[in-house]
Amino acid sequence: MRTKYSGFLTLLLAFVVQLTFAQQKTVSGSVLDETNLPLPGVNVIVNGTTNGVQTDFDGNYSIDVSVGETLVFSYVGYKKVEMPVTAASSDISFAMEPDASILNEVVVTGFAVKKDKKALGYSVSSIQSEAIQESPQSDLTRVLSGKAAGIQITSQNGMSGSANKVVIRGTNSFTGDNNALYVIDGVPISNDTNQSGNFVDGNMGSSRSFDIDPNNIERVDILKGLAATTLYGTQGRNGVILITTKTGSSETTNTKQEITVTSSVFVNEVGILPDYQNQFGGGFDQAFGWFYSNWGPGFYRDGLGGWGADPSFDANGTVAHPYSTSNFLATNYPDFQAQYAGERYDWKPRNSVSEFFRKGISRTISVSARGRSEDGKFGYGTVFSNLDEDGFTPGNNVKRSNLTISGDAKLTNKFSVRGSMTYTKTDLKTPPIAASFGSSTFGSGSSIFGDLMYTPRNVDLYELPFELPDGGSIYYRQDNAIQHPLWTVKNARFGQLVNRVNGYTALDYELSDHFNLFYQASIDNYTENATNRQNRGGVTGDINTDRGFYSTTATTNTIYDHRLLFSGNNFSMLNDKGSMSFTVGATSNSVDYNSFGLRSTDQQVFGFFNHSGFVERFQSEYHQKRNIVGVFGQVLLDYDNYLFVNLSGRNDWVSNSIDNSLFYPSASVSFVPTSAFEGLASDNGIKYLKLRAGYGTSANFATGYPTVTLVNLNTQAWNDGNSDITSNTTSSSIGNRAIKPELFEEFEVGAEGNLFGRLTFDFSYFERTTNDLIVQNQPIPTSTGASFIDNNIGEIASKGVEVDLGLNLIKSQNNGLDWKLNVNFTTFESEVIDLGQDTEQVVYAGFTNLGNFATVGDPLGAMYGSAVLRDAQGNLVVDSAGNYVSQTTTEDGLVPMIGNANPDYVMNFINTMSYKGLNFGVQFSHVAGGDIYSTTVGSLLGRGLTTDTEDRLGTYILEGTNQDTGLPNTVQINNSDFYFSNGFASPADELQVYDASVVRLQEVSLAYTISSKLLEKTPFGSVSVKFSGFNLWYNAYNTPEGIHFDPNTTGLGAGNGAGFDFLTGPSSRRYGLSVNASF
């Protein structure tokens, strides 16, 4: 009986236990990240089983589980979470905590290969979509500004659609392109800036990175050093910006089908205008005149400087209307002038500049859809975005439409295919922006800013008619030597219409558990139709411009890229303590660039723009092809998950050189002490530490056809009295069959870590050298039959420090308060070591007497021009009239150095706070040091327009020594001599050089995400509202206070020039609202 009874109890107990654990139930919930935003793609698995799901786009999940089992939540970069299921469990929702040890953080590296960050022996910065999307700035490049150390982004100006340049770890070549390479979903794309002309005549035009849709960005990874970019060969020499799009990433795509709509409206206005003074009007030496300058009488009658004693004024304080006394009108348009006879003009301050600018509106709509089949084998994604943006300047508008369609399919267990295609249409319109020295323009173009910013305070540009009877321009100057800004807006325009297609197809075959074969073919093609035009009747001083011109340029650029990779992974060695992975492959990159231009001058019918309506025509045509074929290999050795060695190499063959083959080796090592030494890692101490070092090489091959002598074909004929003859000649620059590529070498060391689970750091120090620099148009003896040659010379050395710090001030779970502070810091130095035997100075940007030169012993990026003469003690020298004496050459016969465009350091502060569904972010930037030659500052001071010049009725004594006596200067000068003759009108360029230090409120954002519980009975999966601003405030604290100058400008265009502003234009300030909703 006892045995039977015991057996019965055993069966009963087993039945009860089985019944308890077999209670199946459905558990659901939502998973958030550390900022309380939905976290899609989290793996939710029943511990010890293969039963699992992933969270959807809204972070939601639902899974069938038995009471007593445990749910395990895991996601790359976050700590694993285990949640037991009880009888009461029905909703398990929480926020995941980032894994501060970042042992499993994955970043994108060469050829879009993903690697554990701990294994990398070089620096990689990652920027997530939250820092990019819904920004007031429509240009992705500018959105990235300040987000990571080591990256310098400079904008041409604040005009919508204007060009940028992106330099990583400083300028390393003075003739080669220094801009970073853009790679989207593994596809290298063009970032050309095809400007309408040189910086003198007007360098309008977008950089092709503007075509990228920020709304489709999943993340951005930035490869900075040569050890990181070796696999990209010569294309990656300036660093690589790897962009992973939402449609190109399958990481977060799951079985749910989702549609997301984002709509935003932003105000786009001029940044900060100068504080124009309202005490004095136009004239010179306190006497009235219709001049450029504003050194005339005060807007008061009596007292020193008042208008009462000036014979130009009547008893009512008015002057003759400028058109009634115009010599130009009297000679050329007497009937037009007659209507102003006897008319008076009120003497009072106006606000012409502020009234000229407008508040532009930027509107964006983006619709995306993506999803995956129930079995996970097929996925798709599509995004359509449309931008319509008015600039703050009349006549400036840019429109952009992007359509991306992508898909992927797992055709068998081993074979998969994916692809994507993007069509972009960009339409830019802008008034012309030629260079100006503060007296209209000096080249063959017009400038909307060069004729506007220094308008005398007594001139109302809206009150003065701007059109003559024949449509020409008329303005206040008595000789009509300045073009009316409103005439420019109406009659001069630059347009750029771009149609672009880029995409790829990729095949992936898993040969075995260890071997994989991958092939990708891609294309990037754009057609850019640029139109630059101006009606006849302009006032620039250039006859071909003033007679009217019409210029059209059709540019096409096609990049074909092929890539084949064979890789092997996770080969165990050393008794399973170590492992090895490798990649070998080959690439082919072909660039076919073609440009066809026609410029016609001497317009016959005002307002008619067709080449048939102009007398003279000049054709231009340019073709360039280059193919780069490369083979490469990479080996990654891992010992016990704490020591990693990466060996890489690539050999390139370039089609346009004779010395066309070059091998680039690189090596890096990563050591993780917190994994190597047991007990070193601690939650309350050193939580994670990685030490790294890397060595890398690369090269820059000459572009064009440097080894051959070109023929100039001239279709214009001349008659010798008997027949028509065309003058076809060889180029004055002879080919150099021995030209070599520029060689780059870099050594980098760094450390990454996490202290106390709150403080993260990433430190890098690098040294880089450039040898065999390519110099273009080097003078040679004419006995060779030519005048110039492209050649190799010299050496440049540079070094720098990059630091990224993160501090989690407050951490909480369950949607509590989180507060994070991130700081990044960059400093960079360079020196020109050698320029060869023939020269100590090479001009590479600007003019031959004012620009950026390479000079032995000086930094690359230094500025040169005429300087103020110094005596033997270094004192400034003043002449007998009390003015500074200029110096155009040094004792060595070189142009003097007048500044250095390189900043001392750049620091960015990024603060983020979140509570419940509320998120607040603010970013400050500080650029310390660096110089800029500024015509904007010089002309506004020299013309007496800002509040800096209000105190002007006394005399001034310039600091320095008298040239004749050697004693301290005591000669007094008046206001116009002080600001004008010893400012922007001085022959000494140095007097217009200012410190470019600036503190900037780069970004501010306040967002609210509606709780998912409130949306349960709605069709929405998520809804968020965000207010944000960009460039809301800045202070260039070492420039004159009343000018509010923004030094982030590049008057020399998007090339290698730096530190110059030729009234290039103000920056923009943006703010507005965006709404994001998913279904």
Q: CB of 674 within 8 A of CB of 680?
A: yes
Q: Model's pTM, two decimal places?
A: 0.88
Torsion angle in degrees (nearest 10) through CA of 815, 821, 822, 828: 170
Q: CB of 287 within 8 A of CB of 1049?
A: no
Q: Report the distance separating Cα 989 and Cα 986, nearest Å.
A: 7
> Can you tell me the mean pLDDT for 363-374?
90
Stretch among 96-100, 865-869, 1062-1066 having the lowest mean pLDDT: 96-100
Q: How remote is the C-alpha of 942 from its chain's centroid?
A: 32
pLDDT at 706 over 70: yes
Length of the chain: 1079
Q: In this predicted structure, what is the pLDDT of residue 247?
A: 80
Mean pLDDT over the full length of the chain: 89
Q: How many CB atoms lie within 10 A of CB 607?
A: 11
Q: How many CB atoms lie within 10 A of CB 620?
A: 11
Q: Report the distance separating Cα 1029 and Cα 267, nearest Å.
A: 9
Degrees to nearest 5, angle at CA 984 with 983 and 988: 75
Q: CB of 1015 within 8 A of CB of 940?
A: no
> Can you tell me the mean pLDDT for 350-377?
92
> Can you tell me the mean pLDDT for 634-649?
94
Tokens describing residue 366: 């983006």
pLDDT at 459 over 70: yes
- Identify the three-state secondary structure at position 890: coil
> Can you tell me the mean pLDDT for 952-980?
94
The residue among 93, 80, 71, 366 whose CA lies nearest residue 215 is 366
pLDDT, one tens digit per residue, over 556-613 is 999 999 999 999 988 888 887 889 999 999 999 999 999 999 999 999 999 999 999 9
pLDDT at 470 over 60: yes
The CATH class, in words, for 2-95 is mainly beta
Q: In this predicted structure, what is the pLDDT of residue 96?
A: 87
Q: In this predicted structure, what is the pLDDT of residue 102?
A: 46
Q: Report the distance separating Cα 977 and Cα 983, nearest Å.
A: 8
Question: % helix / strand / coil in the chain, to the nearest 5?
Answer: 10, 45, 40
Q: Report the distance separating Cα 260 and Cα 398, nearest Å.
A: 24
Residue 105 — very low, low, confident or very high, per pLDDT cuts 50/70/90? low
Element (H, E) at 8: helix 2-21
Q: In this predicted structure, what is the pLDDT of residue 132?
A: 84
The segment with the largest mean pLDDT, out of 32-36, 114-118, 125-129, 845-849, is 845-849
The segment with the largest mean pLDDT, out of 364-373, 575-584, 653-662, 928-937, is 928-937
pLDDT at 725 over 80: no
Q: CB of 601 within 8 A of CB of 547?
A: yes
Q: In this predicted structure, what is the pLDDT of residue 51?
A: 82
Residue 250 — very low, low, confident or very high, per pLDDT cuts 50/70/90? low
**Single-letter amino acid, residue 984:** F
Tokens 């319509």 appear where? 388
More confident residue, 659 or 419: 419
Q: What is the CA radius of gyration of the chain?
A: 33
Q: In this predicted structure, what is the pLDDT of residue 9?
A: 44
> Can you tell me the mean pLDDT for 712-732?
69
Domain range annotation of the chain? 2-95
DSSP codes of every residue in 53-103: EE--TTSEEEEEEETT-EEEEE-TTB--EEEE--TT-SB--EE--B-TT-T
Residue 345 — very low, low, confident or very high, per pLDDT cuts 50/70/90? very high
First to last CA, the chain: 67
Q: Which residues contact 782 (CB under 8 A, 6 or more apart)?
A: none
Q: Report the distance separating Cα 998 and Cα 924, nearest Å.
A: 11
